[in-house]
C-alpha cells in the first residue's frame, strides 16, 4: 500500500510520516529530503536543484518524477511506502496514479485539515536538525535539551522556508496548485480520509490515522 499524506505546509505531514514509518515498516519518502540530499552530494541533480532553488522557483515536475521513480524502485519500497509532500501538482498526481497502477499498489490518502492561523503559529515555532533532518516544534514538540537535537546533539535551526512571508506564499501556492489534487484523487477513486488535525497532539493524531488504515486494509 502507498500512504499519501496530504495537507498544507505545517499540517504535520512529516511528523505523521515518521510515526507511520515506525509502525508500518515501510519507508517515508519526502521529495524535499531527497532533493536536499542531492544538493548536499553536489551530483548532477543536486546542481540543477540548487540552481532552481537559488532562483526561488519550484523543481519542475519532470525532475520530481525522476527522483520519485528512482526512489520507489528501491527494494525497501516493494511492499509500499509513505509519501510526504508529493504530489504537489496535478501533473505529479497523474504520474503517481500511473506509477501505483504499474506497481500494483493500493493507496490511501490521509488529508490533514488544519486551521490557517494554527499553521502560521506552528511553522513560526518549527526547528530542524541540519544533520539528521529531525523536526521539532518549540511549542508542541520541543527537544529534550533546549535548541539541541535529541538524536545527535546538533544545534537546531529555523528553515528559510519557515519565514512568515515565505509561509504565506507557500499557502497561496497550496490553495492554487496543490489543493485541486484532492478533487483529482476523488474523481480517480482514491480512498480519502479527511482528518481535522488542528489541535490533537502528534501521538493522538497518529492513533486516529493508524485505526483508519487498519480498518481500511
pLDDT digits (tens, 9 = 90+) for 163-200: 777 888 888 888 888 788 999 999 999 999 999 999 88
- Rounded Cα distance between 126 and 118, Å, is 12
Q: Is residue 159 part of a domain?
A: yes
Q: Catalytic site residues?
A: 13, 88, 126, 159, 170
Domain count, the chain: 1
Question: Could you read off the pLDDT of 80-113 as tens digits, one per residue?
Answer: 999 998 998 999 999 999 999 999 999 999 999 9
Q: Is residue 41 part of a domain?
A: no
Q: Is residue 197 part of a domain?
A: yes
Q: Is residue 113 part of a domain?
A: yes
Q: Is residue 67 part of a domain?
A: no
Q: Give the domain range for residue 160.
A: 2-29+80-212
Q: Is residue 120 part of a domain?
A: yes
Sole residue written with cell 505545517: 10
Tell me the pTM.
0.80
Q: Is residue 68 part of a domain?
A: no
Res 50: pLDDT:
85
Nearest to 16 by CA among 189, 187, 141: 141
* H or E element in which residue 49 lies: helix 44-54
Q: Are 192 and 185 spatial neighbours (Cβ–Cβ below 8 Å)?
A: yes
Question: Is residue 56 over pLDDT 70?
Answer: no
CATH number at residue 116: 3.40.50.300
Q: Is residue 96 part of a domain?
A: yes
Cell numbers describing residue 103: 506497481
Res 217: pLDDT:
61
Amino acid at each position: 500500500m502507498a500512504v499519501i499524506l496530504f495537507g498544507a505546509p505545517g499540517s504535520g505531514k512529516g511528523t505523521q510520516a515518521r510515526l507511520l514509518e515506525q509502525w508500518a515498516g515501510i519507508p517515508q519518502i519526502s521529495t524535499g529530503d531527497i532533493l536536499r540530499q542531492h544538493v548536499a552530494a553536489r551530483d548532477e541533480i543536486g546542481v540543477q536543484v540548487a540552481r532552481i532553488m537559488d532562483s526561488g522557483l519550484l523543481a519542475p515536475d519532470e525532475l520530481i518524477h525522476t527522483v520519485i521513480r528512482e526512489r520507489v524502485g528501491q527494494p525497501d519500497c516493494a511492499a509500499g511506502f509513505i509519501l510526504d509532500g508529493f504530489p504537489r501538482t496535478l501533473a505529479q498526481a497523474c504520474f503517481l496514479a500511473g506509477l501505483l497502477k504499474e506497481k500494483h499498489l493500493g493507496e490511501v490518502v490521509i488529508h490533514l485539515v488544519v486551521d490557517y492561523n494554527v499553521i502560521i503559529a506552528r511553522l513560526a515555532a518549527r526547528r530542524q536538525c541540519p544533520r539528521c533532518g529531525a523536526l521539532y516544534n518549540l511549542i508542541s514538540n520541543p527537544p529534550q535539551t533546549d535548541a539541541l537535537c535529541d538524536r545527535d546533539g546538533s544545534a537546531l535551526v529555523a528553515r528559510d522556508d519557515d519565514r512568515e512571508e515565505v509561509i504565506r506564499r507557500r499557502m497561496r501556492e497550496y490553495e492554487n496548485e496543490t489543493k485541486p489534487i484532492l478533487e483529482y484523487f476523488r474523481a480517480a477513486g482514491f480512498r480519502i480520509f479527511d482528518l481535522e488535525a488542528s489541535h490533537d497532539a502528534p501521538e493522538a493524531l497518529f492513533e486516529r490515522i493508524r485505526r483508519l488504515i487498519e480498518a481500511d486494509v
